[in-house]
Amino acid sequence: MKTIARIALLAVLIAPLPAAAQDIAAGERSWNKCRACHQIGETAKNLVGPQLNGLFGRHSGAVEGYSYSAANKNSGITWDEAVFAEYIKDPRAKIPGTKMVFAGIKNEKEIQDLTAFLKQFDKDGKKL
């Protein structure tokens, strides 16, 4: 019996830890870095950058009424969590020639939280 208990304890100790949960409130605070150029929500409009409603699953360069760079329109990107994470770290490295002037967000947890915040909004800006 002691052997089984030891094996069970060892299994618990070496099991991978679950990923840190995404924090939407922290993502909303991170959004403050974006809001000078972008909007999100039911009344969102294009500003210096396009509105970001329904970002995930959308093709790059697809927001109606926004004047994208050729680099962005021709990037072939469909936004998902992995692509967004890579992009937001260094937009100009991911899409050379983009108009987006942003130093990037390097912290993985902050990117996850911002992603969770953005994913709340459907293409019409309604919270899911």
What residue segments make up the domains of the chain, in order of their start? 22-119
At residue 22, the pLDDT reads 87
Residues 66-78 as b or e (16 or more Cβ within 10 Å = b): eebeebbeebebe
| Homologous superfamily (CATH) for 22-119 | Cytochrome c-like domain (1.10.760.10)
pLDDT of 39-97, one tens digit each? 999 999 999 999 999 999 999 999 999 999 999 999 999 999 999 999 999 999 999 99
Q: Give yes or no for a contact between 79 and 56, defined as CB atoms under 8 angstroms apart.
A: yes
Q: Average pLDDT of 7-13?
A: 45
Confidence of residue 3 (pLDDT cuts 50, 70, 90): low
At residue 21, the pLDDT reads 74
pTM given for the model: 0.82
What's phi and psi for 121, nearest 5 deg?
Answer: -105, 125
Residue in the structure block whose two tokens are 């996850």: 112
More reliable by pLDDT, 8 or 71: 71
At residue 2, the pLDDT reads 61
On the question of pLDDT at 35 being above 60, the answer is yes
C-alpha dist (Å) from residue 118 to 17, 22, 37, 73, 98 = 25, 12, 15, 21, 21
